[in-house]
Copies of this chain bind each other. A is one copy, B any other.
Amino acid sequence: MPEQFHIVPESEHEALVATAYRNRGFTDEESNDAARFCSFASAHAVRTHNAIKALHLDELFGSGAGGCVPGADIKVIENGFAASEVWDCNRKLGQSVAYAAIERCIELADKYGIGQVSVDNAFHYLWGGGYVLNAANRGYIAYTHCTAGLAEVVPFMGRHPTLGTNPHSWGFPTTEAIGFPIVIDWATSVVAMGRVQQLKREGGKLPPNAAVDAEGKFTTDPEQATHLVPFGAHKGYGMALINEIVSAFIGGSLPTLRSREIPKGEKRTPSFYFQVIHPDALSGGSFACGRNQTENIKAVIEDIKGHGNENIFLPGQDFAQAAQQTASAGGLLFSKAEIAEFNQLAAEAGHPEWDPAQLPTFPG
C-alpha cells in the first residue's frame, strides 16, 4: 500500500482512458465502455485490474497483436432456445461484450427467471467480478466465468500447465439486506503469476502449495516456481476444469494454444459464460417469522456472522468499503507510480498529462 494516493476525478480518468482506446482504433462506444469499466474497477480498489492493466493487455494480446479487433460486431448465433443466446463476438473488446451480455441476460431473466449468454471468440473482459457486481447493484443474481488468456496452471497431480487461472464470479443483490452486494470473485489458482514475479523482485517467499518447479514439485521459492497450481487441491482443480469444459461446449479450443502461435485451422480465443437469475424466480414466498425475502437474507447473514463470528469477512465487503472510500475522496485513488504510467499512456495518445502536484491526495 503506498503512503498516499493522488485523487483523480472519474471524468478525467475516463477521458484519458477513452482517448487511449480511440487512439488504438476502437470506436467511441468501445472506448467509453472500456473507460467506464476501468473507472468502476478502480472505484472498487481493484488495483490489479485497472486501466493500466487493460491497456497493457490490449498492447500485448489485444489490438496490438490481433487478439482483439476494434469495431468488431457481435453476431448472435440462432439456436432456438428461448432463455439462451450464443454470441460470436469476433474478438470485440471484452468490456463492451460483457456489458452487453449481462444486459441481455437481465432481459432474459426478467422473462424466464434465468438467462444465459455464451460467448465464442472472446477477448479479455478484465475483471469478471465487476459485471456481476454491476448486475447485483441492479437487483439481480449474476454469475460469469471465462477461460483465462494463458495456460499457466498445472492440474492437480499433473506436471505441465494446461489450465488457465480460470476465474469464477458470483454477485448477489444483498444491498437492501446488509448494505452491499455479496460478490464472490476469485481465480482458481492459489496466486496469480504477477504475485510470483512480484515476490521474485522483492525476494519474498510464496505461500506453501501455491506453485511448482519445473519438476512439478511444490516450491515456496519464487525463483524456482515455474507454474501455478489450483487452490484447494482436487476441488479448485475441478472448478478450473469447469471453465475449460464449458468453453469446449461453446467453441473454445485447446487451452495450451490460447493466446499462442497456432497451426492453421486452430483457434486460440478464450470464451465467456454469463448467467443471470431474477431473485423472485427463486422465492418460495414462505419465510420464517413473517419475514420478507430481504429480511430473511439479513437474518441468515446475521446468523452466519453471529455467535462469536462478528469479525469474519463477507466477500464483497472489501469492494463496498473501497467504493465508500472513493466516494469520500471524491475521485479515484492512484499511487505516484500509477500516475506516471497513466501519463505515459496520455503521452502516447496525445492526451494532456496529469500533474501530480495539482492533484489532491488521500492517505494510503
Question: Could you tell me which A residues sit within 8 Å of B by CB distance?
Answer: 77, 79, 81-84, 86-88, 111-116, 118, 120-121, 141, 154-160, 162-163, 170, 172, 174, 182, 184, 186, 216, 231-239, 241-242, 244-257, 265-267, 273, 275, 277-290, 293, 296-297, 299-301, 303-309, 311-315
Across the interface, A309 reaches (CB within 8 A) one of B155, B182, B277, namely: B155
8 contacts across the A-B interface (CB closer than 8 A): A81-B114, A84-B114, A84-B282, A121-B284, A155-B304, A157-B311, A253-B299, A257-B303
Nearest opposing residue in chain B for A285, CB measure: B77
Complex-state Cα separation, A170 to B267, whole angstroms: 26
Across the interface, A265 reaches (CB within 8 A) one of B256, B267, B284, B290, namely: B290
Interface contact B250-A284, CB-CB below 8 Å: yes
Query: Contacts A77-B285, A162-B309, A251-B283 known; A256 to B172 CB distance under 8 Å?
Result: no
Nearest CB in chain B: distance from A302 CB, A? 8
Complex-state Cα separation, A158 to B280, whole angstroms: 31
- CB neighbours of A162 from chain B (8 A): 303-307, 309
- Given A81-B112, A86-B284, 5 more A-B residue pairs with CB atoms under 8 Å apart are A81-B113, A83-B83, A120-B286, A184-B241, A254-B288
Nearest 3 pairs between A and B by C-beta? A81-B113, A84-B113, A232-B232
Nearest opposing residue in chain B for A293, CB measure: B249
Interface contact B284-A81, CB-CB below 8 Å: no
Interface contact A81-B315, CB-CB below 8 Å: no
Nearest CB in chain B: distance from A308 CB, A? 4
- CB neighbours of A112 from chain B (8 A): 81-84, 112
Query: Contacts A81-B280, A285-B77 known; A249 to B309 CB distance under 8 Å?
Result: no
Interface contact B232-A77, CB-CB below 8 Å: no
Interface contact A79-B283, CB-CB below 8 Å: yes
Complex-state Cα separation, A300 to B246, whole angstroms: 11
Query: Contacts A281-B84, A283-B250 known; A182 to B245 CB distance under 8 Å?
Result: yes
Interface contact A297-B249, CB-CB below 8 Å: yes
- CB neighbours of A245 from chain B (8 A): 172, 174, 182, 297, 300-301
Query: Contacts A81-B280, A172-B245, A248-B297 known; A155 to B265 CB distance under 8 Å?
Result: no
- CB neighbours of A172 from chain B (8 A): 245
- CB neighbours of A86 from chain B (8 A): 281-285
Which one of A141, A156, A309, A311 has the highest number of Cβ atoms from chain B below 10 Å of its Cβ?
Answer: A309
Nearest CB in chain B: distance from A248 CB, A? 4
Query: Contacts A112-B83, A157-B311 known; A285 to B251 CB distance under 8 Å?
Result: yes
Across the interface, A286 reaches (CB within 8 A) one of B88, B118, B303, B311, namely: B88
Nearest CB in chain B: distance from A150 CB, A? 14
Which one of A244, A251, A257 has the highest number of Cβ atoms from chain B below 10 Å of its Cβ?
Answer: A251
Across the interface, A282 reaches (CB within 8 A) one of B163, B246, B311, B314, namely: B246
Interface contact A313-B266, CB-CB below 8 Å: no
Nearest CB in chain B: distance from A108 CB, A? 8
Interface contact A251-B284, CB-CB below 8 Å: yes
Complex-state Cα separation, A242 to B168, whole angstroms: 13
- CB neighbours of A118 from chain B (8 A): 281-282, 284
Complex-state Cα separation, A281 to B112, whole angstroms: 15
